[in-house]
Amino acid sequence: MSGNDEPVRINKFIASSGLCSRRQADELIERGKVTVNGEIAESGMKVTSGDLVEVDGKPVYPESGKIYIALNKPLGITCTTDRRDPSNIIDFLGLDERIFPIGRLDKNSSGLILLTNDGSIVNKLLRAENEHEKEYFVTLDRPYDESFKSRMEDGLPILGQKTLPCKVYPEGKRSFKIVLHQGLNRQIRRMCEYLGYRVVKLKRIRFINITLGELKPGQWRKLTAQELSGLLKGKTE
């Protein structure tokens, strides 16, 4: 695939994955074995790396140098590509490739952040942000009660709007997990502050189907083909 991700014919896309030749790819398409974003592919159609191309239900990706990384962001690292910021996430990773984060985590928050050099997937995921689940582990400065849980779940007025309904799962007197479908600026901290609580620890543990797993702070790994497929589909399983 080219650097500016221009559309290419689907047989070339499949062939570039190393799965088969262009002629064999055409045969697979004619037999209805190929889908693009869940729809049966047609001969001669064009696709980009932002499309989910599957052969016999299994995703294929061109050998194009695309990078998809899951990082356990430590506290103090800023989700910016501005190298003038000494705490920027790019210098922290120290990779040669030009990559950028998908969304952001506050400097004082830790946990899962995805990074890539694939601009199309960033746009796809951020456009549909309110459809995607994001899960966090939160610790407060003092114990909360059932009223706190129900009011968080129902939605609270912050930043001139009411937050979307969410789910809160207690994990102790001062801690809980929360699953959001939106990403307002400092949303969880603002929601808790509205109810008179202060967040002392905030860690993202899941984004759609990608989980933090065993990654320690500062560690990162590349996404698997299965994870990338689920990410593009927006599915948690």
The whole model's pTM is what?
Answer: 0.72
Distances (CA, A) of 50 to 7, 77, 200: 10, 28, 38
Q: Which domains does the chain have, with CATH numbers?
A: 8-59 (3.10.290.10), 68-129+209-233 (3.30.70.580), 133-207 (3.30.70.1560)
pLDDT tens digit string along 162-172? 999 999 999 99
Say which residues have a Cβ less than 8 Å from residue 228's Cβ, sequence separation at least 6. Answer: 59, 61, 68
Query: pLDDT digits over 137-176, tens only?
Result: 999 999 999 999 999 999 999 999 999 999 999 999 999 9
Which residues are identified as catalytic?
106
